[in-house]
Structure 1
Amino acid sequence: MSFHPHRDDLYEEMHSRPFQVIPSPARLTHIALICDEAEKREQFNHLRRLFELLGQQPPERDEMCVQWDFGDFRIRLEKHLEFIAFTFVNLAVENNDDPFAVTGISSLPNGWLDKLPGKVISAVHVSVKDSSEDGDYMLPKVRRFFEGMRLIGSSPQQGDARIWTTFRLHSDGFGRMLICNKRMSDSQLGRLTQRLMEIETYRLMALIGLPTAREYSPQLRIMDTQIAELTQRLSSESGEDESDILKDLTRIASKVEDYRAKTTFRFAASQAYHELVLKRLAELREDEVSGHLTMTEFMTRRLSPAIRTCDSVGQRLEDMSRRIDRVSDMMRTRIELSIQEQNQELLSSMDRRSKIQLMMQHTVEGLSVAAISYYSIGLIKLIIDALYDSGLSFNKHLVLGAAVPVVVGGVWLATRRIHKHFLALAREQRDADLADEERRKSK
């Protein structure tokens, strides 16, 4: 059998980002960095340096998703379209009183993380601990772990675990999430922590478009007013020069296209990340913790309006582009009408000149008949004189007088025949042009 060249890659794609198996207790740190292609290459070299510092064999190939296990310490690398995510898992912990005293990056060599190429967009510590305590009893303890910030609580998977977070940055510059495991297996904990880290990263990636939307929104209001003024100027009978309107319209159109080029991808990406966040939230199957917002309620209350703002600005740009197209059509129609009026005046002027030329032509034809006849009679007179001098006897004056009307009549008939021939050619050309025009209209 002949196999598709990408068949193996397509099979492996479904298994390219497997869920981790996370025992409890555990400490994880998830860091997502936005980076370009050069920074991605630098990150791989920097990662190899980490292996050397840990006394391990550095990786040879830069892969899309890979995990390295060093016993109680794990490193997971995931490459996405716009960012790279590192997950550091520290299993050498116990259920101590402060779940964030030890984190996933506690085992990293000093200074390595500070030199990691790229711009950090998401950094969160996730603490997984076993707990059989009631939520109300745990609440006073939990507040201390989040520096007194307002908590967001969730009880996913029919109460098999309890999640606490604030979706804020703490004094160490990281976000925090606390997972209190009651009855979840290691595989279930792995899926849960992966979804929580993705929610934290995707929500921030979705919000990147919001500052852009806020930046361009005032400019769009100004341009919206300018387009309305241009439309009014175009519809008025003030006789304003179309070139001035066209300059203003071109300037606005160039700005709109520039904004669209800068925002289309960002707004589309924000919408895609938002959908991923909603999907991950639905997979949690949250139950409410009394007196606290769930993560789904928090996201739908704050994240969804931000994404709708981005969508609104994107739709306004598309609407303005369509309005500019309609104004441009009006401009073209107005210019075409002006050109048609000028052509009509030009045709009328040409018609008048043609009539004058025709009258002049008739005059010239009459003069031509007289001139040709005069020279023809002169030639005939020379012939008659030659014949008379050779000995022929006849009345040369009578013959010359009789030849005058014959010559004049012949010249006049020849001139009229030539004139009719050119008229016939003109009619044939006109009929051919009319036939071509009818064929173009029928197509």
Structure 2
Amino acid sequence: MHPSLGRLDLHPLRDELYNELHSRPFQVLSSPARVTHIALLTTPGRRREQFRHLQHLHRLLGFEAPVHEVGCYEKDFGTLRIRREMHLEFASYTFTSQADPDADPFTSTGITHLPKGWLEQLQGTVVAAFHLDVQQVAGGPDVDLARVRPWFEDLRLVGSSPQEGAARIWGTFRLHSDGFGRFMILNHHMSDSQLGRLTQRVMEIETYRLMALLALPLARDISPRLADMDQTLADITQALADNADVDEPAILARLTDIAARIEAFRARSTFRFTATRAYHQLVLSRLAALREDELSGHLTLTEFMTRRLTPAVETCQSVGERLEDLSRRVDRASEMMRTRVELAIQNQNRELLSSMDRRSKIQLMMQHTVEGLSVVAISYYLIGLLKLGLDAAHDNGWAFNKSLVLGIAIPVVLGGVFLGVRRIHHRFLRMARHQ
């Protein structure tokens, strides 16, 4: 008897973590079949509208509608099976119906049995939309290439033989006259589970390929603007290296403008470029899982992706790296400009302090002159007051020589006033030094 976990502290996400690996099971597909896959860019608001639209489809077909939205939902309506998967930035719909083995490919598709007008009202921006025609050719000769080509409107084919010849895959990776892409899977001896996994990998390869390419127009739009900013920055840096007489505030303003534009580009492109790298890795992992063999005279899916998709992804990566490099260079140039401005300000401050020092010396000399005059003035008034006192004392009967006393008092008063002013002056100097 196994011990119970009831008393243990279980992580609140434990069940969700266990179920995550089983949230998107592979489809089981029998041949012949018609499959249509549509991927739409979506938002949280559109997701809610899409779910209500899916509920409406159930009511149109006479089935009970789901109540709660899940990451992967699959429902069999008899002649039609619908699978809806929610991803980070897009939602995918897979419509599957059984086909008449004698019918020509692509004459009917996975969306043929949908109620009229339902698909047209589906919310979202379509990125990927393509049909897959799955045929059973086990035990018989391969379908002749001359017969396959007209079903793809004589466009150049890309084909491979995955899983050691267990099936054949044909496609063009182009849009056809109905606005959809087309793929054909010829099943030799795969089981329904193996065929479902192969079909899902093909759908994921095409969907992730297109999602990865969403960044390419953005990279092409940004690249020439980066070239202009790169040249401007090179000119500024060269001027700084040559110690040219430049207008530092004006150049600093130009650098700030370039930095702001770079940050705007980074805000637009960072998520898209990062998503492109992630989608590209998913494409490569799905291609590796196919284990393709080459069909004579035709590119395999892996070769086609390597030659066409990988350069586009590397272009996006190059533009992203160029953005980061330009941002770092602008920061370094801005730092140099700020250093030059700070040095210029320090020189101005030093000249200002020197000028203030010269003015202080002049003011000190003037102060000494004023002090000398103030000693004379104060002494003059004090002697005047002393003369009034002597006159009053003499008039009241005091016998003394007023002129002699007044003459003796003049140098005494001058010396006393001079010493008092000097003492006050030194006192203020001591206070300034202490502060």
Task: Please report the TM-score for the alignment, with normalisation by the length of structure 2.
Answer: 0.91
Corresponding position of 2:4: none
Q: Give the counterpart letter for 1:39 in structure 2.
A: R
Provide Cα deviations, 1:197-246, integer angstroms capped at 9, x if missing partner: 11110000000111111122222222222222233344456534334333
Distance (whole Å) between structure 2 residues aligned to residue 207 and residue 304 of structure 1: 10
- Runs of 5+ in structure 1 lacking a partner? 430-443
Provide Cα deviations, 1:30-49, integer angstroms capped at 9, x if missing partner: 10011333332322222222
Corresponding position of 1:329: 335
Residue 394 of structure 2 is aligned to residue 365 of structure 1: no
The structural deviation recorded for 1:277 is 0.7
Corresponding position of 1:82: 89
Q: How does 1:219-238 map to 2 (within 5 A)?
A: 219-236=225-242
The structural deviation recorded for 1:74 is 1.1
Distance (whole Å) between structure 2 residues aligned to residue 426 and residue 341 of structure 1: 27
Q: How does 1:388-399 map to 2 (within 5 A)?
A: 388-399=394-405
Moved more, 42-51 or 208-217: 42-51
Q: Give the counterpart letter for 2:46 in structure 1.
A: E
Residue 54 of structure 2 is aligned to residue 24 of structure 1: no
Among residues 171, 175, 185, which one is paired with 2:181 in the alignment? 175
Among residues 163, 171, 175, which one is paired with 2:169 in the alignment? 163
Corresponding position of 1:432: none
Among residues 7, 10, 14, which one is paired with 1:7 in the alignment? 14
Corresponding position of 2:210: 204
Distance (whole Å) between structure 1 residues aligned to residue 285 and residue 417 of structure 2: 100
Kept in 1, the 8 Å contact 2:252–2:338? The answer is no
Kept in 1, the 8 Å contact 2:155–2:172? The answer is yes
2:293 counterpart SS class: coil
2:133 counterpart SS class: strand
Distance (whole Å) between structure 2 residues aligned to residue 335 and residue 135 of structure 1: 81
Q: State the Cα RMSD in Å.
A: 2.2
Provide Cα deviations, 1:131-181, integer angstroms capped at 9, x if missing partner: 225776643332233222222222222222222222122222211222222
Among residues 328, 332, 352, which one is paired with 2:358 in the alignment? 352
Among residues 390, 393, 397, which one is paired with 1:387 in the alignment? 393
Q: Give the counterpart letter for 1:315 in structure 2.
A: E
Go from structure 1 to structure 2 and tell me whether the alpha carbon gap of 1:85 and 1:379 turns closer, same or farther (over 3 Å shift). Answer: same
Distance (whole Å) between structure 2 residues aligned to residue 254 and residue 198 of structure 1: 38
Q: Give the counterpart letter for 2:193 in structure 1.
A: S
Moved more, 142-151 or 280-289: 142-151
Kept in 1, the 8 Å contact 2:379–2:417? The answer is yes
Go from structure 1 to structure 2 and tell me whether the alpha carbon gap of 1:166 and 1:358 turns closer, same or farther (over 3 Å shift). Answer: same
The structural deviation recorded for 1:354 is 0.9
The structural deviation recorded for 1:334 is 2.0
Q: Give the counterpart letter for 1:363 in structure 2.
A: T
Distance (whole Å) between structure 2 residues aligned to residue 403 and residue 12 of structure 1: 113
Distance (whole Å) between structure 2 residues aligned to residue 58 and residue 369 of structure 1: 109
1:214 counterpart SS class: helix
Q: Give the counterpart letter for 2:105 in structure 1.
A: P
The structural deviation recorded for 1:359 is 0.5
Distance (whole Å) between structure 2 residues aligned to residue 89 and residue 137 of structure 1: 23
Q: Give the counterpart letter for 2:429 in structure 1.
A: L
Corresponding position of 1:424: 430
Among residues 274, 277, 284, which one is paired with 1:268 in the alignment? 274
1:184 counterpart SS class: coil
2:283 counterpart SS class: helix
Distance (whole Å) between structure 2 residues aligned to residue 381 and residue 12 of structure 1: 115
Kept in 1, the 8 Å contact 2:249–2:341? The answer is no
Identical columns (%): 62
Moved more, 137-146 or 27-36: 137-146
Residue 346 of structure 2 is aligned to residue 340 of structure 1: yes
Among residues 285, 290, 293, which one is paired with 2:296 in the alignment? 290
Moved more, 140-149 or 23-32: 140-149
The structural deviation recorded for 1:301 is 0.7
Among residues 55, 74, 80, which one is paired with 1:73 in the alignment? 80
Distance (whole Å) between structure 2 residues aligned to residue 8 and residue 320 of structure 1: 46
Report how many aligned residue pairs link the two structures.
428
Corresponding position of 1:438: none
Task: Please report the TM-score for the alignment, with normalisation by the length of structure 1.
Answer: 0.90
Distance (whole Å) between structure 2 residues aligned to residue 417 and residue 98 of structure 1: 119
Q: Give the counterpart letter for 2:92 in structure 1.
A: A
Provide Cα deviations, 1:338-377, integer angstroms capped at 9, x if missing partner: 2122212211211111111010011011111111222222
Distance (whole Å) between structure 2 residues aligned to residue 166 and residue 352 of structure 1: 86
Distance (whole Å) between structure 1 residues aligned to residue 142 and residue 320 of structure 2: 45
Residue 145 of structure 2 is aligned to residue 125 of structure 1: no
Q: Give the counterpart letter for 1:256 in structure 2.
A: I
Corresponding position of 1:154: 160
2:131 counterpart SS class: strand
Go from structure 1 to structure 2 and tell me whether the alpha carbon gap of 1:136 and 1:28 turns closer, same or farther (over 3 Å shift). Answer: closer
The structural deviation recorded for 1:322 is 1.7
1:149 counterpart SS class: coil
Q: Give the counterpart letter for 1:154 in structure 2.
A: S
Residue 433 of structure 2 is aligned to residue 405 of structure 1: no
The structural deviation recorded for 1:398 is 2.6
